[in-house]
Structure 1
Amino acid sequence: MKIAITGATSGIGWVTLKRIIPDAEQVFLLARNKDKADVLLKSLPSDQSQKVRFVACDLADFDSVSAAAKTIQSQTTHLDCLVNNAGGIFDKKEFTKDGVEMSLAANHLGHFLLTNRLIPLLLAAKNPKVINVSSEAHRMAKPDFDDLNFVKKSYSSFLAYANVKLFNILFSKSLVDRYGKKGLRSYSLHPGVVKTNFGKETKGIFSLFWKMAAPFMISADDGAKNSLFLIKSDFSAEQNGNYFKNQKPKKPSSLARSVKTREQLWEVSEKMLEKWL
């Protein structure tokens, strides 16, 4: 199996990578910090670290994402699995160099671009799979497709995060709409409320929730079980596009099941990324 995973230098991403290496032929580790990746890879047995290829990729920089896709294309003829794992919540409204709100870029558009650029490699595999790490926070989403960058309305870090986690689920379903008949399988998941560095710099209500939830959080090892379950499992065609929680299919919000909403998201995403697609 040849697999690519984003955000695998910490948290559940790193655990997922470590656990899948023994079953993999080649692993592409996509991340921003090469020095950090090198340190982590040196901690692995040499026979495992040799399977991993670091690929520089800043999901909030669309030129970087495009370059990462080209690098992978130059190093393999097919890709069995892509795990869009990276994500983050941003306390203050920030814009990328491409003029996109940071949460939208890093959590959704970067993965949208990466996946679309890697589709030819995925469809060249026997049983290709895309896995998008979402969150139960998607149930609080209220996206305004006329203002995804929070230019007109006041910015809320939690709402921005909830929106992009909804987009992860919608994107998974859209991939099935477009490529399911060509053999692509696509799933999304809630990893659980994981005790990592995620969310540590947030403020306000979300910060209070994070502190209150801390005693009940699960470990990164437990959080990674959901991703590993989807990577290793085969499901019926009827389950293609499903959202999973605790390694079982879970019905997402009504908005996450909306065909109209996912088609609208795809159209807007393509328009925002027209220069790079």
Structure 2
Amino acid sequence: MNADLMNKVAVVTGATSGMGRVIAADLVRAGAHVVTIARDPARADALRAHLGPQAANRLEVVTGDLSRRSDVVASAKTIADRHDEIHVLVNNAGAHFPEHRVSVDGVEMHIALDHLAAYGLTALLDGPLRRGRARVVNVASDTLNDTRQIKLLGRPRPATLDLTDVDDLAELNPANGFVPFEAYARAKLMTVTAGYALARDLAADGVTVNALHPGIVATGIVDDLVPPVLRPARTLIRRTMLTPADGARTAIRLATDPALAGVTGRYFNRDTESSTPPVSHDRDTQEKLLALSRAHFAERMR
């Protein structure tokens, strides 16, 4: 990393493990004051210990569960009250759920955590992000381009997102016909789709919004995504994957590289700019998704 982040504020979600821990640590060591939202204070303490005494005072922890609408709203308010400007927001938190689960707000958990948390923080921190001319980085997954778990035969099968008759995001990823891998991919597609629209809106104030696929990284999410037929070989499979440090590299680059200043509304597969399904570029779909996402937070944002 060649950026000077001294006196800059960076918000990083999912920072207590995996890639997020690497991203947070690298930003702290580059001089940034890093704010993270953690559900488990003990894991946040472990992150502080990992950073060491010289850097630990540049880590700020806000307690919250990003799958809960009230916690997203409360965390954003706490951060905005403490920081007039935010210069980096890395929406890294995410999870894969092998069974159908619903959040306390009645939304399927992939939608709640893998899309609404990122959207909510970006929208609720609008003022500080604009004042900081921030870089917003959304960690997605290339499952959005191909939802097949075993890709040996046939053509790619992109994630789908049909919002034509949808009045509430709670209607998406229903229990009937639930396929975990496709539900996960759809939520990541939603984050990228919303990000394209947010990038246009925020550009006037110098804020950039980009998304990335970090590669196949050896994390708990990948363990869940391994098809049952391949699970006996999971240990061997992990050895072929990227480390969290490898996976974090693209997110750090998008957040800090001076050569990417002003670059916005893009999707990167590791270090290569790449494409996403046509539906993600459809303006009507983007606007409907933003409207539904705003509505999810509307009561709490009044």
TM-score, normalization by structure 1? 0.92
- Give the equivalent residue in structure 1 for 2:161: 143
- Give the equivalent residue in structure 2 for 1:131: 137
Worse overlay, 107-116 or 198-207: 198-207
Displacement of 1:208 = 5.3
Amino acid in structure 2 at the alignment position of 1:159: E
Q: Where does structure 1 lack aligned partners over 5 or more consecutive residues?
A: none
Distance 1:187 1:179 in 2: 12
Q: Does residue 192 of structure 2 align to residue 169 of structure 1?
A: yes
Q: Does residue 298 of structure 2 align to residue 274 of structure 1?
A: yes
Amino acid in structure 1 at the alignment position of 2:248: A
Amino acid in structure 2 at the alignment position of 1:155: F
Q: Do the aligned residues in 1 keep the contact of 2:181 with 2:225 (CA within 8 Å)?
A: no
- Give the equivalent residue in structure 2 for 1:250: 274
Is the alpha carbon distance of 1:152 and 1:12 closer, same or farther for their aligned partners in structure 2, counting shifts above 3 Å? closer
- Give the equivalent residue in structure 1 for 2:250: 226
User: Please, which of 66, 74, 87 is the counterpart of residue 59 of structure 1?
Assistant: 66
Q: Do the aligned residues in 2 keep the contact of 1:158 with 1:206 (CA within 8 Å)?
A: no
Count of aligned pairs: 275
Displacement of 1:167 = 1.2
Measured on the aligned residues, the alpha-carbon RMSD in Å equals 2.2
Q: Do the aligned residues in 2 keep the contact of 1:104 with 1:148 (CA within 8 Å)?
A: no
Q: Does residue 18 of structure 2 align to residue 48 of structure 1?
A: no
Task: State the Cα deviation string for residues 154-213 of structure 1 (Å, max 9, x = none).
Answer: 111111111011112112211112111121111000000000222434575697599485
Worse overlay, 199-208 or 155-164: 199-208
Distance 1:233 1:186 in 2: 14
Q: Does residue 112 of structure 2 align to residue 105 of structure 1?
A: yes
User: Please, which of 31, 41, 49 is the counterpart of residue 34 of structure 1?
Assistant: 41
Distance 1:153 1:178 in 2: 36
Distance 1:58 1:4 in 2: 15
Mapping for residues 199-214 of structure 1, pairs under 5 Å? 199-201=222-224, 211=234, 213-214=237-238
Distance 1:115 1:56 in 2: 18
What is the SS of the residue equivalent to 2:54? helix
Distance 1:191 1:209 in 2: 25
TM-score, normalization by structure 2? 0.84
What is the SS of the residue equivalent to 1:142? coil
Q: Do the aligned residues in 2 keep the contact of 1:167 with 1:265 (CA within 8 Å)?
A: yes
Amino acid in structure 1 at the alignment position of 2:68: D
User: Please, which of 84, 89, 93 is the counterpart of residue 82 of structure 1?
Assistant: 89
Q: Where does structure 2 lack aligned partners over 5 or more consecutive residues?
A: 1-7, 146-157
Q: Do the aligned residues in 1 keep the contact of 2:194 with 2:290 (CA within 8 Å)?
A: yes
Question: Identity across aligned pairs (percent)?
Answer: 27
